[in-house]
A and B are shown apart, each in its own frame.
Chain A
Amino acid sequence: GEDVEQSLFLSVREGDSSVINCTYTDSSSTYLYWYKQEPGAGLQLLTYIFSNMDMKQDQRLTVLLNKKDKHLSLRIADTQTGDSAIYFCAERRISGTYKYIFGTGTRLKVLA
């Protein structure tokens, strides 16, 4: 199927690390993305990883990719209240018209 799956909710304390997980289905996917949606705003591209990479780090964000298990994760170090948002995982497939397939989104709540 086309499903990209994520857990719906995650709650962490300010200062802790957050790990948001995603599983995807298409082994032909070449780019995988993390988007952030803050209340009342559109989706903002946070980071992306090419499928021949295992890890990508960008300041407080670390993306890990396990191609064998088709598992992607986003780790946010030192989580702040401003990180509270919905995080969407998306895959980009080379088959068809290169369209993006998004997950359900994970709502991250950061407790002060």
Chain B
Amino acid sequence: EAGVTQFPSHSVIEKGQTVTLRCDPISGHDNLYWYRRVMGKEIKFLLHFVKESKQDESGMPNNRFLAERTGGTYSTLKVQPAELEDSGVYFCASSQEKGLGEKLFFGSGTQLSVL
């Protein structure tokens, strides 16, 4: 069974440009999460989808970030325009069940560098 896949694995862009990150969750997983880790700091929650609906987007830094999950399958996270402080590793995770016993399966992340 394929795991959570993320594309691209690395992206280097200039300040002001736009970048779109993609996440394909494990097939059948309704829950999809985006997280971000800035170098040396904790992994921070960005948002949570249940199927195509945004369940919780309280971690989104500002309106330069837009996440979508059309059709409840893959998700995209667009940063427009990118700023220097957006650099970091963006992780996607998915899960099947919800509640306290939920186990997350993570992708390998997208390393974003904004120059």
Contact = CB atoms under 8 A, between A and B. Distances in A.
B69 to A, nearest CB: 16
Contacts of B48: 97, 99
Nearest to A40: B108
Contact of A103 (B4, B42, B98): B42
Contacts of B106: 35, 42-44
Interface in B54-104: 55-56, 91, 93, 98-104
A98 B109 CA distance: 22
A50 to B, nearest CB: 8
Interface residues of B, number: 29
A102 B99 contact: no
Contacts of A35: 106
B1 to A, nearest CB: 15
B108 A41 contact: yes
A76 to B, nearest CB: 20
A92 interface: yes
Closest CB pairs A-B (n = 7): A42-B106, A102-B43, A43-B106, A42-B108, A97-B56, A104-B42, A42-B107
Interface of A: 3-4, 8, 30-31, 35, 40-45, 48, 88, 90, 92, 94, 96-105
Interface of B: 3-4, 6, 33, 35, 37, 40-45, 48, 55-56, 91, 93, 98-109
